[in-house]
Amino acid sequence: MKNRSTVRLSRLALGLAVALAAAPAFAQSTSAALSGRIVGDDGQPVAGAQVTILHTPSGTISRATTDAEGRYTARGLRVGGPYTVTVSRDGYQSTAQENVYALLAETSQVNLELRSEVSSLEAITVVGSAIDSVFGPDRMGTGTNVSREDIDRLPSIARNIQDYMRLDPRIAQTDKERTEISAGGQNTRFNNIRVDGVTVNDGFGLESNNLVTARQPISIDAIEALNISLANYDVSLSGYTGVNVDAVTKSGTNDFSGTVYGLYRSGDWARDDIIPGSFFAPPKEEQTYGMTFGGPLIRDKLFFFLTYEKFERTLGAPTNLPAGITAAQIQEVRNIAQNVWGFDAGDFALPGKLKFEVEDIVAKVDWNINDDHRAYFRYNKSEQTEPFLRQIGARSLSLSSFWQTNNKTYESAVVQLFSDWSDRFSTEFKIGRSESSSLWDLNSRLPQIQICLNSTSCSGADSIYLGAEQFRHINILETQIDTAYGAGFLFLGDHEIKFGAEYQKNEAYNLFGRDQFGVYQFVGLDAFRNGTPSQFNVRYPINGDINSIAAQIKLENLALFIQDTWSVNYNLTLNYGLRYDVPNVPTPPPANPAASAIFGYDNTNTIDGNGLLQPRVGFNYTFDSERPTQLRGGVGLFSGAAANVWLANPYQNNGGITLGEFFSSTGAGIVFSPNPDNQPGTRVDPNNPTPGGPLDLVDGDLKQPAVWKANLAIEHELPWWGIVGSAELLLTSVKEGLYYENLNLGRPSLQARDGRLMYWGNPFAAPNGSFNTGSANARGNRNRQFTDVTVLRPTNKGEGQQLTLSLNKPVVENWSWSLAYTYTNATEVSPLTSSQAISNWANSFRLNPNEPIAARSVYEVRDRFIGTLGYQTFLFDGYKTSFALFYEGRSGRPYSWSFLNDANGDGRVNDLLYVPAGPGDVIFTGGAAMEQAFFDFMRRNPGLARFAGSVATPGSERSPWVNTFDIRISQEIPGFFGNHKAEIWLDIQNVGNLINKDWGRIEEIGFPFGKGVVSFAGIDQATGKYRYTFNEANVRDVVLRDNRGESRWSAQIGFRYRF
């Protein structure tokens, strides 16, 4: 029988970690572990052998003693290496294995054979291989490890964790502009990212990149390794239903060493011809410079590591005007603002140097207290200043008074202690805190003003924006997250028992004073000149104190867990356990009894006390085969975390207790005022408040999001060049999902022939065929005491299936490569794309607006191919030349056939299209010619034609396929002193676009992913048929995604000096 995990002598050099390596089975991923089995030359286990594990660079020592079965385990080790593992026992000659490397969050196997003293023994030196990181008894779940070597060799202009998350074929960057990542077609907010066990995740839920800041708040040069896990059956891990990413920072060693580095990217090093549909030039330039330095404070005892980095991006100017807006119109808007209303609207030109600036520091101290105890302390801080030029696109532009700057600060600190109390018991304890703040500097203190051109309404019109953007009138966010974690490991023969607890307290202060300065729409320049808006709204604190509308929320969570890892025999390892999470919300939202009575939900509901028990089980079976082969898998329940902003909305939008709103859909009688402190509209008397305004509720049965996950995988080393082939199935099923309903739509006025509920007060066209949305009265039967009333409700609908096939060749004769393909099918009830409850409800396409029906996820990437290619040689003696390529080919994002306007009278443009069965099925307002034009269009679009006579299903179509290639070329060069080296490199992203401007383009139907085809023009009262208006020129088409240059090639050079 072959030992399932014997560390083999290998001709392979220690190379790149395999990009598709299996994820581990233990969590709280800030360290590594080694385990194995010691046998004698007779094949029998050696009990009582002393195992000494030395981290060579730092002199850190961990000791263990083998049990009756010859097993040992050492946890809490530094990530990386090299380690030397030495085994000794009376009656046997000592054996040592060198060049052992320990991977983040993995238990690496080191099995050795002791020979009796009567035998001669040469020192054994085993060089690890990438294959060793794939096969092992603790590989059960689904995921990827990324080593420091991977980070250094692969192209990455953005220098962020997301660029390395894409190495897992099940994870897709669904929006490169916003660095948005989806795992398995799940919501991008359901991921979790931690550094040294402390969250850098955007727990409040405002950033699209999963991070608390727009740019990664810790330099990638400070990161030692990443562990990316989609399904990890260790019960100590929680906080995600998509993907969990753990990063660990570098540490100092016994040698003083460091780097000085810089990167530069010029706007000239990108495609410079204007791509149709693009409205921004690439940045004028980007530059990054920084340093790392570490070493001993006390040799073998106390070490330090420091990182500093500064990043600057000088923004490029808008490159052209929207087709429907002229320079003369822009100038007239400026003249009216200045000469009629007395304020400066700004212009459309950037100031000299508008910069996005980031400054990061990291400081870490590692302390080897003694051979049995090790601790570290790490602190980091990031300060970021980012300008925003909003509402610049194909149909709109904004003047500089509308622009703004976001100032963010993030700080975190963590201390962790690893202790071996005996050969049978060890512990880990961790305490961490992270704090963040987000403040906005506005270019003006004015109402938001939208001037709609070339149209009789603002719906879909060309628009110029000025003043202060409505969502940033007053906006302050401060968060603090405290974490405490403790776990014990008890080794009992074939069993390793893990138990512990985790506590997290998440506090947030969110002052979201949207619309406080007033929001105006004007149809045409004359309306702006005359001060007669077509629509107006304003919100205000009822008691006059702006702080009274702030949401202040504290969310606590306590988790208890226990699990057993059982080595059943040489072939089979089982892991099974339970985790219980229970939330505590000490302070509920302010009560509104009147609203609760009307809508049937207690508005003080929270998730308080709604706990969840999570069972998990995983297995690994290693076959007795000539070449390594393993079958692994498991099933378990995983609890994530809803964006805190969703849970905080009821604290602010409480139906008029603290926040009032005045809204005029026609602007009748409203006279424009540029004074933000003197806006028109009826204000509520604070001494006699009347309930009203928006109301956000939470269902009393709501729990944190939770999904069942199951995987089954087989891996086998093929006969050629060490290639590893893998096939894996990952299944996801929602247990506790989230979606929104709007409770204030009012009673439907009728049900249309396609089953659609109509909420118009009068959905019928006039006898002359006209249909006016104002007189039709959207939500005509609503309770007018309130505006929008939403409730966040639970659902168990939604699922996903992913099949992944991969081939990986580790480094052999200086070459390495990998190929992988993943097929994904994913459904969801709600895409939950926004921080606001009403937008989450509105940005979902369905037949009837409150139906919890699972449909294709807007995050689904159906087909995804990735490939990597690496080559290294020595063009100059002793100085390495490297080449690396990353390829991704993927399906476009799903979108839905829809109406161009509000069809059902719910006040939102989110209605799935009823596709006529043939001529005469609906009435076209333009007669036979318009009807013929529509059916000609339908014949040219088979995806639309297949729904003839029915309502199109959500997400039935896809934007075009996307292909991108990124490359890195690097060369080592001599340093100034003997053992110093420098490195220069060139990164080129989207290389295909360098060759041909039509390659590498990302074209999509824009948010919220609906392709509007016709305008709803009422219902014919006599026949009950829909009336449509069709103009092919108005059909929504794909747009080029290029605001950050993501559809262009661009290049960046880097330099690093190592000493």
> Last residue of a domain, which of 140, 156, 190?
140
Lowest mean per-residue pLDDT among 121-130, 187-196, 795-804: 121-130
Round to whole Å and give the CA distance between 843 and 990: 31
pLDDT tens for each residue of 104-153: 888 888 889 888 865 544 545 444 444 456 888 889 999 999 999 999 99
Average pLDDT over residues 266-291: 80
Provide DSSP, 475-529: EEEEEEEEEEEEEEEEEETTEEEEEEEEEEEEEEEEEE-TTTT-EEEEESHHHHH
Question: Cβ(396)–Cβ(224) under 8 Å?
Answer: no
Q: Is 107 within the bounds of a domain?
A: yes
Q: Is 553 within the bounds of a domain?
A: no
Percent of the chain with pLDDT over 90: 73
Mean pLDDT (the chain) is 90
Q: What is the pLDDT of residue 601?
A: 94
Q: What is the pLDDT of residue 8?
A: 29
Whichever domain contains 92, its CATH number is 2.60.40.1120
Q: What is the pLDDT of residue 68?
A: 82
Q: Is 809 within the bounds of a domain?
A: no
Round to whole Å and give the CA distance between 276 and 1038: 12
pLDDT tens for each residue of 160-186: 999 999 999 999 999 988 889 999 999
Average pLDDT over residues 764-769: 89
In 3-state terms, what secondary structure has residue 30? coil
pLDDT tens for each residue of 656-700: 778 888 878 777 889 999 999 999 875 555 554 454 678 999 999
Is the model's pLDDT at 910 over the cut of 50?
A: yes
pLDDT tens for each residue of 717-730: 999 888 999 999 99
Range of the domain at 51: 32-140
Round to whole Å and give the CA distance between 784 and 746: 10
Q: Is 988 within the bounds of a domain?
A: yes
pLDDT tens for each residue of 26-72: 345 688 888 888 998 888 888 888 999 999 999 899 998 888 888 88
Token readout for 813 is 């004769």
In 3-state terms, what secondary structure has residue 382? strand
Q: Is 198 within the bounds of a domain?
A: no
Q: What is the pLDDT of residue 19?
A: 29
> Last residue of a domain, which of 140, 155, 176?
140
Is the model's pLDDT at 21 over the cut of 80?
A: no
Is the model's pLDDT at 489 over the cut of 80?
A: yes
Is the model's pLDDT at 22 over the cut of 50?
A: no
Q: What is the pLDDT of residue 682?
A: 59
pLDDT tens for each residue of 944-997: 999 999 999 999 999 999 999 999 999 999 999 888 999 999 999 999 999 998
Is the model's pLDDT at 232 over the cut of 50?
A: yes
Q: State the total domains in the chain.
A: 2
Beta partners for residue 741, in sequence order: 791
Between 332 and 80, the more confident residue is 332
pLDDT band at 2 (very low <50, low <70, confident <90, very high): very low
Q: Give every CB contact of residue 954 below 8 A, 6+ residues apart in sequence.
A: 845, 846, 855, 856, 896, 912
Q: What is the pLDDT of residue 313?
A: 94
In 3-state terms, what secondary structure has residue 753? coil
pLDDT tens for each residue of 348-380: 987 767 899 999 999 999 999 999 999 999 999
Average pLDDT over residues 901-905: 96
Question: Cβ(339)–Cβ(333) under 8 Å?
Answer: no
Q: Give every CB contact of residue 100 below 8 A, 6+ residues apart in sequence.
A: 34, 81, 82, 83, 84, 85, 108, 110, 126, 128
pLDDT tens for each residue of 381-424: 999 999 999 998 878 999 999 999 999 999 999 999 999 999 89
Is the model's pLDDT at 901 over the cut of 90?
A: yes
> Last residue of a domain, which of 99, 122, 140?
140
Alpha helices per DSSP H over 940-990: 942-945
Is the model's pLDDT at 471 over the cut of 50?
A: yes
Residues constituting the chain: 1059
Q: What is the pLDDT of residue 28?
A: 52
Token readout for 252 is 């100092």
Q: What is the pLDDT of residue 1031?
A: 96
Between 118 and 601, the more confident residue is 601
Q: Is 95 within the bounds of a domain?
A: yes
Whether the link from the prior residue into 1008 is cis, omega within 30° of 0, is: yes
DSSP state of 280: B
Q: Is 1030 within the bounds of a domain?
A: yes
Q: What is the pLDDT of residue 10?
A: 30
User: Phi, psi at residue 746, to the nearest 5°?
Assistant: 85, 175
Q: Which of 923, 884, 928, 893 is nearest to 1009 (CA)?
A: 893
Q: What is the pLDDT of residue 768?
A: 86
Q: Is 998 within the bounds of a domain?
A: yes
Average pLDDT over residues 234-260: 95
